[in-house]
Amino acid sequence: MTWEPDKPHEECGVFGIYDFDGNDVASTIYYGLFALQHRGQESCGIAVSDTKGPRKVDLLKGMGLVNEVFDQNNISSLKGNIGVGHCRYSTAGDSIPGNAQPLVLNYVKGTLMLAHNGNLINANELREELAYTGAIFQTTIDSEVIAYLIARERIKTKTAEQAVVNAMKKLKGAYALVVSSPRKLIGARDPYGFKPLCIGKRDNAYILASETCALDTIGAEFVRDVEPGEVVTIDEKGIRSDKSMCLKPDEQARCVFEYIYFSRPDTYIDGVNVYDSRIMAGKFLAMDSPVDADIVVGVPESGNAAAMGYAMQSGIPYGTAFVKNSYVGRTFIKPQQKSRESSVRVKLNVLKEVVKGKRVIMIDDSIVRGTTSDRIVQMVRDAGATEVHMRISSPPFISECYFGTDIPSKDQLIANHRTIDEIRDVIGCDSLGYLKVERLEELSGGQAICKGCFTGEYPLEPPTEDIRGVYQK
Ligand code: SF4
């Protein structure tokens, strides 16, 4: 069994690079994926090709973390100056090696390498349509539907980028795409901009990545974000842009949970620093849910910045109450129900001297099912806290996500069937406060967001049936 904290998962991280000087890019993709590992830990892969050589692709992918799948030997066997990388957590499609990305497609116009982050809500219909006209699918992921659509459009269009634009006209849902045709690197973001994608530059190479933290890791400078709906094409002529699929700014819908939890705090999304957003969320909590206390602490890691914000706004001192064991990975053996070891205690321990005899405000980023918060509250009480006040830097989850985030169905969400007072009693804290929905827009610097899982209202009509994991049937 694996360690399963009560948190949603992001689906994927994508990365692409084109080095005009002809240098091999596989090791740079490796480090880029390493920086994006928090976005997906089930499988990963790298595909590279040589823009001047024969149209051959070197591909390696497998189950596991980036540093488990790749080593010095296999990385140096991947030859080519253009390439695509991917790390994955599955929300649609099984967690099996065949579903790992990047996908590589050979077709009449050459070879296509593709990495995708997000979920399509019409993948089912598109898949059926393609299957009836002869497509034979190798995987159970919706990314393959996108690859097929692009390949089919490419036969009818003059350029690979026009094929991507034409394919986008048929796609509904969330996608950040990195595509490599033999001599072009193409990046695309869905018109709503659910998922982030940015452009970087290092020497004579251009990079596309899910988050700016990957650019920092490889020593690249940030050039700009890919805009929601934009298709960027990178080749030896430079960067070109197609904005024919862009919506008006107020129709866009960035996933606000990228700011609250998914993205790394050192990342900037559409010009807004994620750490600053989390500080702001903490400040809002202090304004909207104040309480007298002696110390503010965060549940590591993503609760820490919001706790700092709460402390700054309230004047109550910030403290560190938890020591986290960072080595709890995918293969961690979950303790048996009856055993004395608790999964939560294996991962977190309380610094007794910090909380003993104190009224504690504890900030966490979210509560999904409510399966671990009670144990964390109890641990703080056991360590001697006289009061424990819980504050959550997101609103209550009341609805599922169809756009690539693993937020489960309504019946599993504690806030869907309980009031805040009832949740407080289940968790066993003295008081409980959530971020107000009206505050969410400010976390993205006022840019339009999706907040469907907090309101039940989605920017796109949700499918009538739960499409998540549909290909597993
Ligand atoms: S429903 Fe929630 S998790 Fe899904 S894209 Fe919208 S804000 Fe993000």
What gap in Å lies between CA 234 and CA 257, rounded to an integer?
29
For residue 457, is the peptide bond before it cis, meaning its omega torsion is within 30 degrees of 0? no
Which residue among 407, 440, 444, 457 has the greatest number of ligand 1 atoms within 8 angstroms of its CB, and so is best to mutate?
407
Condensed to tens digits (0 to 9), the pLDDT of residues 172-191 reads: 999 999 999 989 999 999 99
- Quick one: what percent of the chain has pLDDT higher than 90? 78
Q: Where residue 280 falls among pLDDT bands split at 50, 70, 90?
A: very high
Query: How distant, in Å, are the alpha carbons of 76, 83, 342, 427 from that of 345?
Result: 41, 42, 5, 16
Evaluate whether 277 touches 342 at the Cβ level (below 8 Å).
no
- Please give the pLDDT value at position 2: 42
Condensed to tens digits (0 to 9), the pLDDT of residues 47-67 reads: 999 999 887 999 999 999 999
Told to judge if 12 belongs to the known catalytic residues of this protein, a careful annotator would answer yes
338 CA from centroid of ligand 1 (Å): 36
Evaluate whether 233 touches 186 at the Cβ level (below 8 Å).
yes
User: Is 10's pLDDT higher than 80?
Assistant: no
Question: CB-hemisphere CA count at 13 Å for 343?
Answer: 20
Sketch out the chain's domains with CATH numbers: 12-250 (3.60.20.10), 269-455 (3.40.50.2020)
Evaluate whether 245 touches 195 at the Cβ level (below 8 Å).
no
Q: Where residue 471 falls among pLDDT bands split at 50, 70, 90?
A: very low
Apex 352 CA angle, 350 and 357, nearest 5: 125
Residues 6 or more apart whose CB falls under 8 angstroms from that of 79 comprise 24, 26, 48, 50, 58
User: Is 469's pLDDT higher than 60?
Assistant: no
For the stretch 356-384, what's the b/e string if a residue is b when 16 or more beta carbons lie within 10 angstroms of its beta carbon? eebbbbbbbbbbbebebbebbbbbbbebe
Q: What is the pTM of this model?
A: 0.93
Instruction: Report the mean per-residue pLDDT for the chain.
Output: 91
Condensed to tens digits (0 to 9), the pLDDT of residues 226-238 reads: 999 999 999 999 9
User: Is 329's pLDDT higher than 70?
Assistant: no
Within 6 Å (CB) of ligand 1, which residues are found?
Answer: 194, 255-257, 401, 403, 405, 407, 450-453
Residue ranges at the known binding site: 255, 302, 364-365, 401, 450, 453
Question: Which residue, chain included where needed, has tokens 């066993």?
Answer: 428
- Please give the pLDDT value at position 137: 85
For residue 102, is the peptide bond before it cis, meaning its omega torsion is within 30 degrees of 0? yes
263 CA from centroid of ligand 1 (Å): 13
Question: Which whole number is the average pLDDT over 64-91?
Answer: 93
Residue ranges at the known binding site for Mg(2+): 302, 364-365
